[in-house]
C-alpha cells in the first residue's frame, strides 16, 4: 500500500523529539522551491542533508547557503567547478553527475522529496525506495514508468510513499485503507488547462508561451503543458491505479475548473468524500513534510462563500485523447506506460523548442504507444531499453 503504517509511531516521535533530516531531489524546480519555502518557515524542525539541481548553479548555491545544507549536487557535470566556487568557504560539500544525484536518494535521510520532472527522477527515487525510506514524490513518471518494480521494491524494503500531487494527496487523505472493499471509485479532478474551451482548429495554433500559463496552478513548463493536453491526468490515472491498488475501470476523471475539490473517493454506500483547499501546492507538500502530523502553511484559507460556485464536467475525449492513451497503455501493460511517458517528454520539449505544433504532441505520443509491442517489465534494463526506443521513435517522427 502507499503507506507503511508500522512506521507511523516512530515518525511521529521523530517530529516531536528531534529535527527531521531532509533531502530534496530537484530543489530549484517548482516543487523543490515550494518545499524549501515551507522548511525555511520551520527551521527548528528540519535539517537539510542534501539538495540537487540539474543546471541552476546560482539558485542551488543560494538555497544551500540559506538552509546550511550538508551537500549540494549539480547533475550537469560541466557545472561542477562553478558550484564549487559558488560555495567556497561555506563548508558545504559539492558533487556533480547523475550518479551523485542517485546517491542522494540512497542517503539515510528521514524524508526525501522526489521533485525531479520526468524519467531523470527515477534513479534517485528508486534508490530511496530500495533503502526503505520515506518518500514524498511529485514525480509521476516514477510510478508510470516503473510502477510494478517500484511497488515491489517499496513492499520489500518497507518504504513509505507519500503522494505530493494534489489529486493523489487528496485521495490519500480520504481513502479508507482498512476497508478497501468499500471503495467503489476514485475520481480525479482536472482543471481542464488553458485550452478547454478552444476548438481543435484554435488549439492547433497555440504557442508554448500560452500553454505554460496555467489558469489556476503555478507549475513548471513541462507539467503546465501536460495539463494543457490533459496528459498529466493520463499519467495520474496510471499512478492512482498503482498507488491505491484500484483497477482502471474504477478510476474516472472530472473537469473542475475552479481546482478547489482536489479529488474524491466514492464508496459503495453512495458516500463521496472529497478533499478541498485553495489551489496551492504548499498544502500537499506541507501534508507530506509534516506527516503523520500537520503543519501551518502560508496557503490562503479556503473561502467557499467567495468562490461561490463549483462546476464539474466530463472531459472531451475528442479534444483531449490523452486519457484514452492512458487506458490503452494500462491495457497493454508492461513497457507501454513507460513508452507513452518517454514519447510525451520528447514531444513536449520539441513543442517548447518550436519544432512541432501543440496537437503534434498527442499525435506523436499516440503513434509511439501504438507501435509499442506488448512486453513484460521484468527489470530496470528492460525499462531503459523501452525508454530509449520510445524516445528514438518520437525523435524520428519529429525529424520527419
Q: How far apart are CA 106 and CA 101, in angstroms?
A: 9
Element (H, E) at 47: strand 46-53
Q: How far apart are CA 398 and CA 400, in angstroms?
A: 5
Q: Higher-confidence residue: 223 or 228? A: 228
pLDDT at position 8 is 38
- Pairing state between β 261-267 and 272-276: antiparallel
Residues 72-111 have pLDDT tens digits of 999 999 999 999 999 999 999 999 999 999 999 999 999 9
Each residue of 362-381: b (16+ CB within 10 Å) or e?
bebbbebbeebeebebeeee
Whether residue 292 has a cis bond before it, omega within 30° of 0: yes
Pull the grid cell for residue 336: 507501454
Delimit the domains of the chain by residue range: 5-164, 165-280+302-316
Q: Report the predicted TM-score, pTM, of the whole model to 2 decimal places.
A: 0.88
Query: Residue 58 in contact with residue 246, Cβ under 8 Å?
Result: no
Residue listed under C-alpha cell 504557442: 207
CATH class (in words) of the domain with range 5-164: alpha beta
pLDDT at position 214 is 65
Q: Summarize the confidence of residues 315-325 as an average pLDDT.
A: 93
DSSP letter (8 states) at residue 372: P
Q: How far apart are CA 195 and CA 172, in angstroms?
A: 29
**3-class SS of residue 378:** coil
Q: Summarize the confidence of residues 174-189 as an average pLDDT.
A: 95
CA R_g for the chain: 20
pLDDT of 24 above 90? yes
Amino acid at each position: 500500500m502507499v503507506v507503511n503504517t508500522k512506521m507511523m509511531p516512530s515518525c511521529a516521535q521523530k517530529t516531536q523529539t528531534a529535527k527531521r533530516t531532509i533531502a530534496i531531489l530537484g530543489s530549484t524546480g517548482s516543487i523543490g522551491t515550494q518545499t524549501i519555502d515551507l522548511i525555511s518557515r520551520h527551521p527548528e524542525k528540519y535539517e537539510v542533508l542534501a539538495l540537487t539541481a540539474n543546471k541552476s548553479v546560482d539558485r542551488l548555491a543560494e538555497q544551500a547557503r540559506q538552509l546550511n545544507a550538508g551537500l549540494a549536487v549539480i547533475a550537469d557535470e560541466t557545472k561542477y567547478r562553478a558550484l564549487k566556487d559558488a560555495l567556497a568557504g561555506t563548508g558545504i560539500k559539492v558533487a556533480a553527475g547523475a550518479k551523485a544525484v542517485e546517491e542522494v536518494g540512497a542517503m539515510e535521510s528521514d524524508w526525501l522529496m522526489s521533485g525531479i520532472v520526468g524519467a531523470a527522477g527515477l534513479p534517485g527515487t528508486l534508490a530511496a525506495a530500495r533503502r526503505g525510506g520515506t518518500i514524498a514524490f511529485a514525480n509521476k513518471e516514477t510510478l508510470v514508468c516503473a510502477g510494478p518494480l517500484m511497488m515491489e521494491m517499496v513492499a520489500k524494503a518497507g518504504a513509505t510513499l507519500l503522494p505530493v500531487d494534489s489529486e493523489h494527496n487528496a485521495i490519500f487523505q480520504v481513502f479508507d485503507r482498512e476497508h478497501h472493499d468499500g471503495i467503489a471509485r476514485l475520481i480525479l479532478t482536472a482543471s481542464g488547462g488553458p485550452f478547454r474551451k478552444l476548438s481543435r482548429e484554435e488549439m492547433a495554433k497555440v504557442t508554448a508561451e500560452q500553454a505554460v500559463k496555467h489558469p489556476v496552478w503555478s507549475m513548471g513548463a513541462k507539467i503546465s503543458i501536460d495539463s494543457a493536453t490533459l496528459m498529466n491526468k493520463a499519467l495520474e490515472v496510471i499512478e492512482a491505479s498503482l498507488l491505491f491498488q484500484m483497477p482502471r475501470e474504477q478510476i474516472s476523471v472530472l473537469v473542475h475548473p475552479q481546482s478547489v475539490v482536489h479529488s474524491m473517493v466514492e464508496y459503495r454506500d453512495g458516500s463521496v468524500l472529497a478533499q478541498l483547499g485553495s489551489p496551492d501546492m504548499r498544502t500537499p507538500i506541507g501534508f507530506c513534510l509534516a506527516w503523520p502530523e500537520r503543519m501551518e502553511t502560508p496557503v490562503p484559507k479556503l473561502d467557499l462563500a467567495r468562490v461561490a460556485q463549483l462546476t464539474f464536467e466530463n472531459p472531451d475525449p475528442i479534444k483531449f485523447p490523452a486519457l484514452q492513451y492512458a487506458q490503452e497503455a494500462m491495457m497493454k501493460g508492461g513497457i507501454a506506460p513507460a513508452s507513452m511517458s518517454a514519447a510525451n517528454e520528447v514531444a513536449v520539449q520539441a513543442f517548447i523548442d518550436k519544432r512541432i505544433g501543440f496537437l503534434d504532441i498527442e499525435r506523436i505520443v499516440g503513434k509511439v504507444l501504438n507501435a509499442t509491442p506488448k512486453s513484460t517489465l521484468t527489470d530496470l534494463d528492460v525499462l531503459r531499453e523501452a525508454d530509449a526506443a520510445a524516445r528514438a521513435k518520437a525523435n524520428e517522427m519529429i525529424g520527419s
